[in-house]
Amino acid sequence: MSIPGNISMWGGPITRIPAGYLLCDGTLVRRDDYKNLFQVVGFSFGMSPPDGQFYLPDLRGRFVRGVDDNAGRDPDVKARTDMQNRDIKSATVGSVQSHAFQNHDHEYTVFPATGGNIASGTYWAQGPALTQQVDGSKYNVSTETRPTNVALHFIIAY
């Protein structure tokens, strides 16, 4: 038996989501069609929906983080917003937070003989090496900061 509001990860295709579950894709659904789910989540995943409707969570492409609840582990908790309307501040279940990368610097080793390549792999055998400070404005390796991850669908019981 599924418990309304329980969110699970689904390793199958969306065409085979089990009965009693919906895809967490931000869809607007009717309160009358999913009364038990609405009683649990209400407007947690989007305030101000059209009359008689509510939003499912939209967890596509997002990492999930536990609600801080005054634990002090989310230093930017006051910057969290409503899932559907970023103008509404919210630090509750369903709120979202944009990406961030803490400012930092560190040293790295380059080999001038190789045109200034960063020391790795075969370049370790070549020298002499120089140690320099990273200039973060020069090195963009991605458009986001992220840990190694795997993609799964999130589904919610109704």
Please check the confidence at residue 23 and state whether its pLDDT lies above 70.
Answer: yes
- Longest Cα separation, the chain: 72
Asked if 20 and 3 touch (Cβ cutoff 8 Å), the reply is no
- Cα-to-chain-centroid distance, residue 116: 35
Please check the confidence at residue 158 and state whether its pLDDT lies above 80.
Answer: yes
pTM for this one?
0.74
Amino acid symbol at 154: F
